[in-house]
Amino acid sequence: MKGIPDFSEHRLPNGLHILVGPVHSLPMISFQVHFAAGSRYERPGITGITHLFEHMMFKGTHEVGAEEFSRIIQANGGSLNAFTTTDNTSYYENLPADRLELAARLEADRLQNLLLTEENLETEREVVRSERKLRTVNSPFGLLIEQLVSLAYEQHPYRWPVIGWDSDLRSLTLEDCREYHRTHYAPNNAVIVIVGDVGPDEAVKTVEKYFGPIPSQPPPRLAITPEKPQRGEKRAVFKKVSQVAAFFAAFHVPGITHPDLIPLQILCVALSVGRSSRFYEKFEKPGKAVEAQAEVGYPPFFSMDPGLLQVSAVASPSVPVDSLEKEIWEEVEKLRGRALSHEEVGKAKKQARSHFLQGLQTLFAKGLLAGLYQVRAGDFRDIYSLLDRFDSVTPDDVLRVARQYLRPENRTVVTLQPVSQKEHEELGEVE
């Protein structure tokens, strides 16, 4: 398919999954390691350990000192980073193709020989707590979105934030980290993706040289409770000092392998992407809303398990947020009552298709698509049908998913109510 390499698949005796995508346009590669280790694999009491452990992976081994990993990659003309989500933790290096062996050696070394010490734990614990304070507690809508998600999910582990609750971050122990490393950071729980100027034989041989000797581990014992269907609207009010009033809502929708996700994405594009979208024409253009959005994600970031479609709006200063919300649900009900025109759906499909293809221009993005589909959907081959799935969506498909998922009884709403500094302080400190 256009923009996506012809990936070959390999598996080592220790269970390590390898995907190789040759792209010979530049003498570069993207070397990626994706672990089936996200916040969905945590439990109450250790929330945030997955993201904290991402930080710990840069604290060095006996061979490579703390922070040396980054320095070595950068000194060899590369860049690197890592990220944690609900469903996976991913590490990657983008570097010259002749540095393939360097990336493999460094990644295998920290997988097997990571230094886990009390000093490193205390340092990174405080880094993560500060990150939570900055990105969630002190952000305009971070705590509101946390409350929305934790209210929408009653049973499933998606209900806690990826960064974790502050009380859990404070109490995590070194033994918790060691146990998490033993359980989740194993070759049979990982997918390595190599995209770029390299052949499959060379790539697999190099990976096997460094990762082959690492033993597999017993698979994690998981008992993830599925979320039961929601049978009535849930509501909450979140009070904080704010210059604006807003509401955020969530509807339960299926996970990454379900065929309804692409029509739901087309629906969201038609509602809120671009100046011809319904939300822009109805709310932003006339000045009723500073912003009005509908989003369900996009490939490859659809969630592994049933996720959420979010609708949100920030009210203009002169508009009461409750009246804005009422009008937005009226607009959604129009969508559930009558199909979008072929023109609207066609335009939304083109926009979604264009966004998808534009996002595949780098080696990193090509590898990420394959790696996350392998981890989240269980089969990277699903990526080759994505464009056909965009193209095949009809107005009736959009109408059907709107009626099925955008029901009031499937909705959770949290409203941001601005309060004075005094009232904010009386409500107590938020961590």
Mean pLDDT over 64-93 rounds to: 97
Task: Supply the pLDDT for residue 428.
Answer: 80
pLDDT digits (tens, 9 = 90+) for 155-198: 999 999 999 999 999 999 999 999 999 999 999 999 999 999 99
- The CATH code for residues 8-211 is 3.30.830.10
pLDDT tier at 223, thresholds 50, 70, 90: confident
Query: Is the per-residue pLDDT at 287 higher than 70?
Result: yes
Task: Supply the pLDDT for residue 371.
Answer: 98
Mean pLDDT of the chain: 96
Percentage, residues of the chain above pLDDT 70: 100
Mean pLDDT over 383-407 rounds to: 97
Query: Is the per-residue pLDDT at 251 higher than 90?
Result: yes
CA neighbours closer than 13 Å in the CB half-sphere of residue 45: 4
- The CATH code for residues 234-426 is 3.30.830.10
pLDDT tier at 408, thresholds 50, 70, 90: very high
Pairing of strands 190-196, 17-22: parallel
At residue 183, what is the residue type?
T
Residue range(s) of every CATH 3.30.830.10 domain in the chain = 8-211, 234-426
Query: Is the per-residue pLDDT at 106 higher than 80?
Result: yes
pLDDT digits (tens, 9 = 90+) for 129-158: 999 999 999 998 999 999 999 999 999 999
Task: Supply the pLDDT for residue 1.
Answer: 63
Query: Is the per-residue pLDDT at 427 higher than 90?
Result: no
pLDDT digits (tens, 9 = 90+) for 334-380: 999 999 999 999 999 999 999 999 999 999 999 999 999 999 999 99
Query: Is the per-residue pLDDT at 431 higher than 80?
Result: no
**Taking the model in full, what pTM does it have?**
0.95
